[in-house]
Amino acid sequence: MYFTYKFLSFILYPIFLTIFFLRILLTKENWESFREKFLFNHKENQSDHRKLIWFHAASIGEATSIFPIIKNLIKRNSELKILVTTVTLSSSKIIKKEFSNEKKVIHQFLPLDIPFLVDKFLNNWKPSFVLFIDSEIWPNFIFKLKERNIFLALINGRITKKTFNRWLLVKKFADKIFSSFDLCLASSKESLEYLKNLNVKNAKYFGNLKFAPQSNSYSGSDEKILNLKNRKVWCAANTHFDEEAFCFKTHIKIKKVFSNVLTIIIPRHINRTKSILKNSEKYGLKTEIFNNQKEINPETEIALINTFGQLQKFFKICKSVFIGKSMIKSLELVGGQNPLEAVRAGCKIYHGPFVYNFQEVYDLLNSKNISKEIVDESSLATEIVKDFDNSNKNISENLNKIELYGKDIFNKTMEEIDKIIKL
């Protein structure tokens, strides 16, 4: 099976080149990501003989989950250098912004999982330890790391039922892959059992690392700057196709109670803002695309956010946040997105029934009355109206409920990483 995988990766190389050219034209890639993913050009290792830890995180959610780990490591270990690889443009921007003043942290796009590219990448960086995050499984990278006897860990490992069943179709190949990991820290009890069934020898569960404390917790508001002092504001974050219409209908219902309501929509893919704007016209709503200007027009009913890195800014001024990718039945088996950034800003969280990818997170938040499942626009509008009426919402209470839990997960994870570094 592995021979087949290697052979196909070689054969498909020219096809991948063509696909990536098309993705550039569609602005889903740029020339920097193209050159680094095919290693036509890549950053040189200038580690000065220091140990280099390589973290690989696919996109924004996975990358931000390891920010506390990276910051802790560079604070305590002056001899360490850290390489972070991702695959998406958005994650690259977030990492570069977060560590813009930190020379010990380098970002590069992950090359394609093709043997000769893998060898070239590893020969350049010569990592001492490698930590893959979440569900990133790349066989050629894994087997090459094993050949070189480089410690490989899966951190916050996530295996869904759907993914597990797929691995069972190639069980011998899957066992070979997962037995190559020296350590797996599962993100859920379910993932722990799946990992053990896939022949992982050293699997542990502490909790989901995304609960770990972040440095960008609640600290004031931008209400005055945005000219929102007298507005009732709620936010819909990381919305997907069709969920914006759900938000428009919710807005209309809230408007019957609070005429000064403002709905902020932050779509998961900001390239959709123009089509969302056009769709809002069907509902007769005054909609504005917000491109980081200082103020939102007082007449605006729907503000569509069209820039990256704006979530915290708007979470801070909202009592209530709806998290998207949770109302779409067709995405039932991949539904749900991380609500914790909004929780840390002191918001009450609302979500639909389809949160499979974050079920354990939502179960905990729901049990502590931090989040609540809603079924339609009427139930969401009712809850948001209640939040608007409750002017004494205790922000610190929500933060404290997850802080201790998150610290425990983080500390136990760091203990394991420290063991790796000392090897």
| Two structure tokens written together for 86 | 């991702």
Average pLDDT over every residue of 124-148: 95
Residue 27's nearest CA partner among 269, 292, 274 is: 269
Q: Which of 336, 305, 295 is nearest to 158 (CA)?
A: 336
What the chain holds in terms of domains, given with CATH numbers, is 2-212+407-421 (3.40.50.11720), 232-402 (3.40.50.2000)
49 or 17, which is more confident: 17
Lowest-confidence range among 143-157, 198-212, 308-322? 308-322
Task: With cut-offs at 50, 70 and 90, classify the pLDDT of residue 392.
Answer: very low
Work out the pLDDT band at 218, boundaries 50, 70, 90: very low
> Cα-flanking dihedrals φ and ψ of residue 385, to 5°?
-60, -40
Neighbours of 351 (CB within 10 A): 26
| 313-350 core/surface letters (b: 16 or more CB in 10 A; e: else) | bbbbbbbbbbbbbbbbeebeeebbbbbbbbbbbbbbbb
As given in the structure block, the two tokens for residue 2 are 């592995």
Backbone angles phi, psi at 234, to 5 degrees: -135, 165
User: Can you read off the two tokens belonging to residue 216?
Assistant: 């960008």
Q: What is the pLDDT of residues 240-258, one digit of tens each?
A: 988 999 999 999 999 999 9
Strand partners, 196: none
pLDDT-derived band of residue 316, with 50, 70 and 90 as boundaries? confident
Residues above pLDDT 70, as percent of the chain = 92
Burial of 57 (0-12, 13-18, 19+ CB in 10 A): buried
- What local confidence, expressed as pLDDT, does residue 223 receive? 53
Predicted confidence (pLDDT) at residue 140 exceeds the cutoff of 70: yes
pLDDT at 318: 86
Give the separation between CA 252 and CA 267, rounded to whole angstroms: 19
**Contact criterion met (CB below 8 Å) for 195 and 180:** no
Q: How many CB atoms lie within 10 A of CB 417?
A: 19
| Residue 149: burial class (beta carbons within 10 Å; 0-12, 13-18, 19+) | exposed
